[in-house]
Amino acid sequence: MERITSRDNQRLDAVRKVRDGIDKDAIFIEGKRLAKEALRSDLSFLECYVSDALDDEPLIGDLKRMVNEVTIVAEKAFASIADTKNSQGVVLLAKRPEWSLKDFATRLGGDALPLIVYLDEINNPANLGAVDRTAEAAGAAGVMLSPGSTDAYSPKAIRGSMGSAFRLPIVQEVPFDDGLSFAAEAGLATIAAIARGNAGYTSVDWTIPHMLILGSEAHGLSQEKVGGAAATIRIPLDEPVESLNLAVAAGIILFEAKRQSGVNG
């Protein structure tokens, strides 16, 4: 295997461009756990970089078998490509997953929970990743993201998803009206979760296919978008708490839908 000792190496510069979102054709996967999750997924791998300080022979063996190009990097040089302070010494580059609205239709016609999550202008990548993880855990058919949302495949979002971003259908840059049109064509009832929703989330018949619309923690949903949904729901909260973390709110609603639908994980 090739060994890189200088942080100024052109290949490492290319890795940093993927990490920093400059090169959007590939995704940046860092750490032992995420590397193992990636190897169990259907991702198409481009290359792998491991620190010469990495002491995990089974993982290195798996990487050599499944990735065409594995490069050893001196520990100090490896630190220049890491996205975390305490890197575990492994970085994988893979092709960015490409999902379409047709993939949602296929999933909705299968064994998935008949529910799509639409996220409007979600700016926190860790929160987005946590919602992805929650959606996969509940068996949801997929996640849509509006324009203006953070990149679902940024390093922070991938870490937040704990690998769910490798498997869950995620379609980005879906305008709100296009999301509503898809829901109408797919037979999904649209429902927005807001602080002062008209009904409690447990009163909804979640056996009916739905598109659940959630806004960002910072701004919520605009009145125009709330008005675009067929119904609104709320999660009852004891005072003085006014709102929940986005992923927590999504989890409460998704698992109620899962419970009612009898979909097994």
Tell me the domains of the chain and their CATH numbers: 3-95 (3.30.1330.30), 101-261 (3.40.1280.10)
Reduce the DSSP state of residue 74 to 3 states and report it. Answer: coil
- Kindly tell me if the per-residue pLDDT of 206 is higher than 70: yes
- Kindly tell me if the per-residue pLDDT of 263 is higher than 80: no
For the segment 93-139, what is each residue's pLDDT rounded down to a tens digit?
Answer: 999 999 999 999 889 888 889 999 999 999 999 999 999 999 999 99
- Kindly tell me if the per-residue pLDDT of 265 is higher than 60: no
The reported pLDDT for the residue numbered 180 is 97
The whole-number average pLDDT for the span 195-220 is 93
Residues of the chain above pLDDT 90, percent = 85
Helices (H), the chain: 10-19, 32-39, 57-66, 75-78, 101-108, 125-138, 155-161, 176-186, 223-228, 246-261
For 90-94, 190-194, 258-262, which range has the lowest pLDDT when averaged over its residues?
258-262
**153 HSE (CA, 13 A, CB side):** 27
Cα 8 from chain centre:
32
Tell me the pLDDT band of 262, cut-offs 50, 70 and 90. confident
Mean pLDDT across the chain: 94
**Residue 167: both structure tokens together:** 């498997």
- Kindly tell me if the per-residue pLDDT of 54 is higher than 80: yes
| DSSP designation for 220 | B
The reported pLDDT for the residue numbered 264 is 60
Closest among 28, 10, 22, 12 to 78, alpha carbons compared = 12
